Structure 1
Amino acid sequence: MVAFANGRFTEALIQNTIQVLALPIYSIGLGVNPGLVGLAISLPRLWEAFTDPYIGYLSDNFRSKYGRRKPFMVVGVILAGLFYALLWSPPAGMGSTVVFLYFLIISLAFYTAAAVYLVPYYALGNELTSDPQLRAKLMTFCAVFISVAGLMTPWAYSLSFIPYFGVNEIEGVRVIGIIGGTLIIITGMLPCLMCKEQVTAQTQPKFHFMSALKNAFKTRPFVILCSVYILGLFGILLVSPLAFYVGTYYMFDGDKAAMSKLYGWLGSSWALTSILSSPFIYWLIKRFEKKAVLIASLVLVLIGQASQWWLFTPSNPYLSIISFVLSSPGIISLHIIIYSWLADVCDYDYLQSGLRREGLFSAVYGLVVKSAFALAIFCSGIIISIAGVNTGQDAIQSPEVILRLRLLFSIVPPVVIVIAIAVAIGYPLTKKRMAEIQQTLEQRESASV
């Protein structure tokens, strides 16, 4: 479990540091329009979303002495680490258009490599155990490793100001990129080396891509699962880049260095709370229905997000940590339960189809979720531009702009989370239903021996 969970540390580095660094480095530091920065992040995610199902299909149908998943994972994680380092080394002395194109092209390469690693990795996790409780335990381990990475990634921007790394954050982030790329390769290789694949799945007949893709979208529990996850996080992702602008220009009157330190503490408090709450979340999952735990978690996130209107205040900026501490257990619970549900859905599909298609379901899940998140990231850049935010090293924001940012930051997430709760109520795979599915599958496998 620990070896597999290291891959989630890798995933967190891949996903989260870009969210932390992209706008501060490319928009505030290098003067690229925030809408273009959002486009440079969202287009590769959209590309990755549509390539994910095909990568999952290739992995499900791949046959080798090293397994179906590991060959893809090894190639993907090495390339992802290399492209990550390049991502934070833009050409010096170039105009904003050239810098934008560089960021876009390297992002496309980086996210493609990341998909080659992550899609088979997700599928491998779905195959490790058929026990729903062990799946929840595995996802709890994964949540802890995600949170450990979360202790580090929020400090990436602050660390780029270290004088030893360079004269400013633009030079310093090059060193951060090399360190991050190295960590991606090292941690990402551990599941490749230490986790075992299912042997029986390698002997199953190959299946057709398009028919399997259609069946995935017809699987009701899968559609609900994707919808809940997207809605639970969409509003937060849509406005999360605004946190840096609200903090910098509302709480710290334009002091980027001061906000970078608070940003680090916000992320670390989020991650530390996630680590401490994960065992309690697992305890709740063992004793209650996952759906009930999930709904309670979303309510907690709603409270935390709404509180940001009062807690992000210039009179005491560090009060903002409270809102992150409130939201953190709910978000980590969402991750644990959704990925546990995804493995349950794969068993549900196996019962219906007789095929192990973890790779395809993981990939289609990635397609839907990443498309939605790409849209959220793109729209966040557009929102920042429409709000009238000025960019550049010494930009100043008007009170009207700051008010617009604060309203969006505090209102959008709670509204979307309410919709997520309504959708989650209809999820059908209860503990009782999963026990029936497992019993039927065991009887089928015993009869085939």
Structure 2
Amino acid sequence: MSALGTRTRLGYSLGSFATGAFGTVPGLLLLPYLTDTMAVPAAVAGAIVLLPKAWDVLFNPVAGRISDSALRRHGSRRPFLVVGGLVLAACFAALFAGPGLGSTAADAAYVVVVFFVCATAFAFFQVPFNALPAELTEDYHERTRLTTWRIAVLALAILVSGAVAPAIASGLGGAAGYRVMGVFVGVLIALGAVAVYAGTRGAPVGRLREPTPGWRELLATMRSWRAFRWLLAVYFLQALGVATLLAGVNYVARYVLGDPDLQSALFAGFVGPALLVMPVWDRIGRSGGKLTGFRVSSALLAAALGALAFSPAMATPLVFVFVALAGVGYAGIQVFPLAILPDLISAEEERTGATRAGITAGVWTAAETLGLAVGPGLFGLVLSIGGYVSSGQSVATQPESAITAITVGFSALPAVFVALALPLLRRSVLGDRRPGGDADAAATAGGGGA
């Protein structure tokens, strides 16, 4: 298996409309929905955002093992994509339905329950989706190409969902605005699920190996698989940083820049550059190597976020310049880990003779989910420390300490998480063996010295 056709690349990539919408919109809007529409205290709202996804962290590896077993029995993971995606779509619309149960506590409990169901459905979609690249092609560079297609579509999905959803919510206002927004995003998720299911029909499925015999053997593999553990740590830290940043976009627009209508523009300024620079990152990955591209994009993102710590003193156009530079770095940190991951999976499957794609994708998705969940929760804690005033109004008067907390949570704190990942980007992330002519070690072996 080598080069994939355009139909397969595009069909697989369109699934990013489901992952992009669900991975983005709750991080952007669920916290302000709770604090400023339902009047839930910031610290409690942060916990509500975190807890259902904390369950997902535990459940994702289970979903991966189920997916591996289904692949061996039925020869395809695709049914999980359409069923998980459609259930997720319906539950997402319900998440922001605002049933009005008579008290803040009851409404908050409703959100928790529905978010739990959303998280479970997402696991059954996202885990097989992340496992597929290792099975669609064994070509080292084709995996980078497939990933750039996926991230380009992901950027478009994030741009559409992340820019349009806040515009709908703020444009209509109040609970009704969030209700319509939830239906809109639910439709996007459903379209992505159906598109990836149809688009990957007839695509390669890889070698049908037996799944790992038991959890004990799997844990032993994870303990010895140093390359995967390094990569996973980097991805978690960076997902945590990005999630913290995204949780702050709504608050920065309203309280730092002083214009709620700038929320969509801020988000577009961060995600939009990915649509333009994706071919550049692909070229860097081919010429300088995946690890080099990963390092450069991480450093760029950390530097741009650090500069945004001074955004209260900047002119608004300059804020957008640094937001765009952060977006260029963000595109790179999305491409390169996902291009390296299938190389690692293939090597480990060759070494063990067992299917690893599903369970590895489950662990990977668990780490990503944890980062995306902790980020808004951490931002909510920063708001609470800063004395943020929760209310049922769209904009409440905030103390200066709250403005500082918003700025730090949006910029300096994410910059620290991204920077902490840089020392972990060592050659052992890529494994031991190297494809001919590539500047980096290919991820084709477990372990590898630092």
The offset of 1:217, in angstroms, is 3.7
The offset of 1:408, in angstroms, is 4.2
User: In structure 2, how many angstroms separate the alpha carbons of the residues matched to 1:38 and 1:276?
Assistant: 34
Residue 148 of structure 1: aligned partner: 156
User: In structure 1, how many angstroms separate the alpha carbons of the residues matched to 2:126 and 2:19?
Assistant: 7
The 3-state SS of whatever aligns with 1:363 is helix
Q: 1:194 aligned to 186, 196, 199, which one?
A: 199
The 3-state SS of whatever aligns with 1:160 is helix
Contact 2:131 2:358 (C-alpha < 8 Å) held by counterparts: yes
The offset of 1:24, in angstroms, is 2.3
Code of the residue aligned with 1:92 in structure 2: it is G
Contact 2:126 2:365 (C-alpha < 8 Å) held by counterparts: no
User: In structure 2, how many angstroms separate the alpha carbons of the residues matched to 1:340 and 1:45?
Assistant: 25
Contact 2:67 2:77 (C-alpha < 8 Å) held by counterparts: yes
- 1:100-123: CA deviation from partner (whole Å, max 9, x where unpaired): 101110000011011111111111
Q: 2:75 aligned to 60, 67, 81, which one?
A: 67
Equivalences for residues 320-359 of structure 1 within 5 A:
320-359=319-358
The offset of 1:148, in angstroms, is 0.6
Residue 166 of structure 2: aligned partner: 157
Q: 2:218 aligned to 208, 212, 215, which one?
A: 212
User: In structure 2, how many angstroms separate the alpha carbons of the residues matched to 1:280 and 1:198?
Assistant: 28
Contact 1:312 1:319 (C-alpha < 8 Å) held by counterparts: no
User: In structure 2, how many angstroms separate the alpha carbons of the residues matched to 1:134 and 1:304?
Assistant: 30
Residue 410 of structure 1: aligned partner: 411
Q: 1:338 to 1:206 in 2, by over 3 A?
A: closer
User: In structure 2, how many angstroms separate the alpha carbons of the residues matched to 1:130 and 1:298?
Assistant: 26
TM-score by length of 2: 0.89
- 1:358-401: CA deviation from partner (whole Å, max 9, x where unpaired): 00111111223323443333222222112110011152111233
Contact 1:74 1:117 (C-alpha < 8 Å) held by counterparts: yes
RMSD: 2.5
The 3-state SS of whatever aligns with 2:39 is coil
Equivalences for residues 384-423 of structure 1 within 5 A:
384-392=383-391, 393=393, 395-423=396-424
Contact 1:19 1:241 (C-alpha < 8 Å) held by counterparts: yes
Gapped regions of structure 1 (runs ≥ 5): 253-257, 442-449
Contact 2:98 2:107 (C-alpha < 8 Å) held by counterparts: yes
Q: 1:356 to 1:206 in 2, by over 3 A?
A: closer
The offset of 1:431, in angstroms, is 9.4
TM-score by length of 1: 0.89
- 1:219-248: CA deviation from partner (whole Å, max 9, x where unpaired): 111011111112223234235423432332
The offset of 1:427, in angstroms, is 3.0
The 3-state SS of whatever aligns with 2:355 is coil
Code of the residue aligned with 1:328 in structure 2: it is G
Contact 2:306 2:411 (C-alpha < 8 Å) held by counterparts: yes
Q: 2:236 aligned to 204, 224, 230, which one?
A: 230
User: In structure 2, how many angstroms separate the alpha carbons of the residues matched to 1:374 and 1:438?
Assistant: 31
Residue 3 of structure 2: aligned partner: none
Code of the residue aligned with 1:399 in structure 2: it is E
User: In structure 2, how many angstroms separate the alpha carbons of the residues matched to 1:59 and 1:158?
Assistant: 37
User: In structure 2, how many angstroms separate the alpha carbons of the residues matched to 1:116 and 1:80?
Assistant: 9
The answer on 1:111 being equivalent to 2:119 is yes
**Structure 1 residues 32-41 or 204-213, which shifts more?**
204-213
Q: 1:162 to 1:428 in 2, by over 3 A?
A: closer
Contact 2:148 2:282 (C-alpha < 8 Å) held by counterparts: yes
User: In structure 2, how many angstroms separate the alpha carbons of the residues matched to 1:310 and 1:359?
Assistant: 43
Q: 1:5 aligned to 13, 37, 41, which one?
A: 13
Contact 2:101 2:107 (C-alpha < 8 Å) held by counterparts: no
Aligned residues: 430
Q: 1:271 to 1:407 in 2, by over 3 A?
A: closer
User: In structure 1, how many angstroms separate the alpha carbons of the residues matched to 2:153 and 2:307?
Assistant: 27
The 3-state SS of whatever aligns with 2:434 is helix
